[in-house]
Chains A and B, each alone.
Chain A
């Protein structure tokens, strides 16, 4: 017993010290900020503007530099070197990435993800937005649909891993999906996670499950923002149902749809947790982000890992650019 007490005591002191240290650090940080702002506020004359810009923008630029630009440059640099970054290889790592059949498969799977998961999530989100907006108590339904967004991707993957769990048909089933299809009369359901290429789509379901709520909420807001006069005018012209949706609603929220689509695409390109948690990249489900991690940190081939990171970066870049352009357009429209 005394041992436990001692341990508990030291845990408390430990916690107190840590809390004290963090409080001190926060106080220090705020203090430094106060000093800087105060100094900047004192400055007068022709220094005011440049100083204000430096003070306001400086930290952000600095952090961006440390967190994004430097690693980017370094990753590009490393991608031209061998596994432990001691020998220059030229473009060999990129050649490897584009010619190895396994990596080609990974690129293809990633492309599949990129096309299907965001379209499914956005489409489903749009459908739900239209349907739920007409229902009474829509807030409740929206919260329920949005809820998975609050679950981490790892958590969501674990949940769905249980759903896809398969056992021999003669045994009690652990997985929900097998249980359901057996109840529906399918005698020998497959081992879901193992069935290629079905398993890739089953993994996408997790991403769609998580992202649909986000798409729905954003699109629903955009639909509500359509001026009533426009809808009414269209109605007077005789447009109803699908025609109203196709000719009025969709064009009016087009920029929002694009933003949602590209945002989900970017998330999808970085999909890592789902694959890692559910299959570890085995059974033909590997995607670029996870392969990059595996090359760099499991097989210790920094060169190849960096090359994959660069490819991933180049793939995300146009999407981000397009996303930003659309966001700006939307802002000017509003």
Chain B
């Protein structure tokens, strides 16, 4: 090991120099495209209305959500014009595993710029990580176009974090007006009527009255939580519902177990379910997307599902009061409760405050975007008061929009979405799935869920 040192050292120096050159080349390459657009140029023609969001040409924001195609296609279409005018590209990614993957991505330092969060509970969890960025002033002002209750759902500990993007009405029952007409059935106005009708359909024998499916990948069980929530809200009204959601009334409370009994008499009645799929247990393995299809072939008569189920019907299905498919408002279990409406919604949380991210956030909270979204597809409703109701071309959407903005209604947000994630997207899903799949006793189901409540 006595080779001369000099040539070696020279080579030693040469390597980092080459390296530096290579790195500089790579870096300059990327910065070159970033400043490509002329900043804040005046937008003309059709694009003029996006002037407020201009100046971010050539930028890209990422968005992560649970909305899958085909719903996501029209979602992307709703901001296509905004995107091409302002030059902000919105890279959308939808995932079936959104609820479990978002915390992993945020915790791993790989947060998207935006997440469309459908559960205030998950939003609170994300805020807890400290990675959610408060929205800009303009977004907070746009939010005033929604009724005040929505601000509380987009807030955590009194601080406003995420503006609602969409609203949906859960308290609907899908049915076939054609089939009802042919059989001489009438749309029920009360819970008693609904139960009597179910019995009548079951006795007629050609179809089971109800269809149901609670399968939804790793979120399996959520439709069952909706059924329970509808019944709790419709039996006891908003106050008990609020106490239940905050665990002041436990699942094992007699009120809730009674409500579970009501659900069992309804959706676990072997004579009433699960038309076209099998027995009561088959509800657990039927995906919620598939659940309604037997209505079209006359295997079952009704399906309780939210307004967004509108998107699940095959292309060409005639949806309307005299068509193949329509929906009616699920009546209150207790007639004393005034017009209960259980609803959900999606909130746009940002994990970055880059200017282009804020521009998108402002745009997506505006009435203009909401109107654009309403125009791109049916089956989508906003509770934004700035949206002209005549834009809704679909009777279901009109029905939902009216219910969601009706001051007399007893409106409450989806309960499992408000509960802590350990319950709302964990134990309650699992326990109610087991309730349907294994026929577990109600007290055990209730105790299992109560045990998961964070201490």
Give the interface of A toward B (CB within 8 A).
Answer: 3, 6-7, 10, 13-14, 16-17, 20-21, 23-25, 27-28, 31-32, 34-35, 38-39, 42-45, 48, 82-84, 102, 166-168, 171, 191, 193-194, 196, 276, 280-284, 293-294, 297-301
Least Cβ–Cβ distance between B19 and chain A, in angstroms:
4
- B281 touching A191 by the CB < 8 A rule? yes
Q: Which of A44, A194, A276 contacts B281 (CB 8 A)?
A: A194
In-complex Cβ contact of A283 among B18, B27, B30, B438 (8 A): B438
| Pair A27/B282 contact, Cβ less than 8 Å | no
A78 to B434, CA, bound (A): 30
Chain B 73-90 near chain A by CB (<8 Å), digits 1 or 0: 000000010001000010
**Known interface pairs A167-B278, A276-B218. Does A191 touch B285 (Cβ–Cβ under 8 Å)?**
yes
Q: How far is the CA of A21 from the CA of B128 in the complex (A)?
A: 34
Q: Find out whether the CB atom of A297 lies under 8 angstroms from the CB atom of B103.
A: yes
Known: A38-B15, A191-B281. 20 other contacts (CB 8 A): A3-B80, A6-B84, A10-B89, A31-B19, A42-B5, A83-B422, A191-B282, A193-B285, A194-B282, A196-B438, A280-B220, A281-B430, A282-B221, A282-B437, A283-B434, A284-B438, A298-B218, A299-B452, A300-B422, A301-B454
Query: In the bound complex, how far is the Cα of B24 from the Cα of A20, in angstroms?
Result: 11
A-B contact pairs, 5 of them (CB 8 A): A20-B29, A31-B19, A44-B1, A45-B1, A283-B284
**Inter-chain contact B425/A298, CB cutoff 8 Å:** yes
- Give the distance to chain B from A66, nearest Cβ to Cβ, in Å: 14
Q: Which A residue's beta carbon lies closest to that of B107?
A: A297
* A149–B437 CA distance with the chains assembled, in angstroms: 32
Cα distance A27–B27 in the bound complex, in angstroms: 13
Closest 5 CB pairs of A and B: A24-B26, A44-B1, A299-B426, A299-B422, A31-B19
Contact check: which of B1, B18, B84, B454 meets A48 at CB < 8 Å? B1
On whether A168 and B33 interact (CB within 8 A), knowing A35-B12, A298-B100, A299-B421, the answer reads no
User: Could you say which residues of chain A place their CB within 8 Å of the CB of B128?
Assistant: 84
CB pair A300 B103 closer than 8 Å: yes
Grouping DSSP codes into helix (H, G, I), strand (E, B) and loop, the B interface class, with mixed when no group exceeds half, is: helix
Instruction: Tell whether B433 is near chain A: CB-to-CB under 8 Å.
Output: yes
**Nearest chain B CB to A330 CB, angstrom units:** 39
> Given the complex, which residues of A lie within 8 Å of B15, measured CB to CB?
31, 34-35, 38
Q: Is B125 in contact with chain A by the CB < 8 A criterion?
A: yes
Contact A13 B33 (CB under 8 A): yes
> Is A44 touching B23 in the complex (CB atoms < 8 A)?
no
Which of A21, A39, A282 sits near B26, CB closer than 8 Å? A21
- Interface residue B25 (Cβ < 8 Å from any Cβ of A): yes
**Chain A residue with Cβ nearest B18:** A31
B93 contacts the other chain (Cβ, under 8 Å)?
Answer: no
| Chain B residue at smallest Cβ distance from A283 | B437
B430 touching A3 by the CB < 8 A rule?
no
In the complex, residue of chain B having the shortest beta-carbon distance to the beta carbon of A277: B217
What are the residues of chain B within 8 A of A28 when measuring CB–CB?
19, 22-23
- In the assembled complex, which residues on chain B have CB atoms less than 8 Å from the CB atom of A45? 1
Contact B281 A298 (CB under 8 A): no
- A27 near B426: Cβ-Cβ < 8 Å: no
Name the contact of B278 in the complex, choosing from A48, A191, A276, A301 (C-beta under 8 A): A191
User: In whole Å, how far is B293's beta carbon from the nearest beta carbon of chain A?
Assistant: 11
Q: Which residues of A contact B58 (CB under 8 A)?
A: 10
Taking the nearest CB of chain B, how far is it from the CB of A281, in angstroms? Answer: 7
B390 at the interface (CB under 8 A from A): no
A191 to B220, CA, bound (A): 17
- What is the minimal beta-carbon distance from A230 to any residue of chain B, in angstroms? 50
Among B1-34, those with CB < 8 Å from A are 1-3, 5, 8, 11-12, 15-16, 18-19, 22-23, 25-27, 29-30, 33
* B299: chain A residues within 8 A (beta carbon): 171
Q: Point out the residues of chain B lying under 8 angstroms from A48, CB to CB.
A: 1
How near does chain A come to B431, taking the closest CB pair, in angstroms? 10
Across the interface, A280 reaches (CB within 8 A) one of B5, B218, B278, namely B218
Is B192 located at the chain interface by the 8 A CB criterion?
no
Residues on the A chain within 8 Å of B422, using CB: 83, 299-301
Pair B19/A44 contact, Cβ less than 8 Å: no
Given A196-B438, A294-B426, is A23 in contact with B26 using a C-beta cutoff of 8 Å?
A: yes
The answer to whether B427 has its CB under 8 Å from any CB of chain A is yes
Docked-complex contact A166 and B426, CB < 8 angstroms: no
On whether A17 and B33 interact (CB within 8 A), knowing A168-B282, A282-B437, A300-B103, the answer reads yes
Q: Does B99 contact A (CB under 8 A)?
A: yes
B48 shortest CB reach to chain A, Å: 17
Complex interface: chain B residues within 8 A of A38 (CB): 8, 11-12, 15
A282 and B277 form a contact (CB under 8 A): no
Could you say which of A38, A82, A284, A299 has the most chain B C-beta atoms within 10 Å of its C-beta? A299
**Chain B residues whose CB sits within 8 angstroms of the CB of A13 once the complex forms:** 33
Contacts of A283 in B (CB 8 A): 284, 433-434, 437-438
Closest partner residue, chain B, to A82 (CB atom):
B455
A196 surroundings in chain B (CB, below 8 A)? 438
Residues of chain B in range 90-111 having any CB-CB distance to chain A below 8 Å: 99-100, 103-104
Residues in B with CB closer than 8 Å to A39 are: 12
B276 contacts partner chain A, Cβ-Cβ < 8 Å: yes
Q: How far is the CA of A20 from the CA of B27 in the complex (A)?
A: 8
Q: Tell me how far the C-beta of A200 lies from the nearest C-beta in chain B, rounded to whole angstroms.
A: 14
User: Do B22 and A24 touch across chains, with their CB atoms under 8 A apart?
Assistant: yes
B450 CB-CB contact with A under 8 Å: no
Shortest CB distance A197–B (Å):
12
CA distance A276 to B426 in the complex (A): 14
Distance of A299 Cα from B427 Cα, bound (Å): 8
Given contact pairs A3-B80, A44-B2, A299-B426, A194 touches B421 in the complex (Cβ within 8 A):
no
Say yes or no for B448: interface residue by CB 8 A criterion. yes
Nearest neighbor of A17 in chain B, beta-carbon distance: B30
**Cβ–Cβ < 8 Å partners of B220 in chain A:** 280, 282
Chain B residues positioned under 8 Å from A3 (CB to CB):
80, 84
Give B120-158 as 1s and 0s: 1 = Cβ < 8 Å from A's Cβ atoms. 000001001000000000000000000000000000000
Whole-angstrom distance between the Cβ of A157 and the nearest chain B Cβ = 12
Q: Which of B84, B99, B277 contacts A167 (CB 8 A)?
A: B277
How many Å lie between the Cα of A300 and that of B448 in the bound state? Answer: 17
Whole-angstrom distance between the Cβ of A320 and the nearest chain B Cβ: 26
Q: Which residue of B lies closest to A42 (CB)?
A: B8
Give complex CA distance A299, B278 in Å. Answer: 31
Cα distance A300–B100 when bound, in Å?
10
Chain A nearest CB from B282 CB (Å) reads 6
Residues of A within 8 A of B430 (CB): 281-282
Residue of B with least CB distance to A169: B278
**Contacting pair B29 A16 (CB below 8 A):** yes
Kindly provide the distance from the CB of B402 to the nearest chain A CB, expressed in whole angstroms: 36
A282 to B215 Cα, complex, angstroms: 10
Assess whether A194 is in contact with B19, with CB atoms less than 8 Å apart.
Answer: no
- Bound: A84/B18 CA distance, A: 48
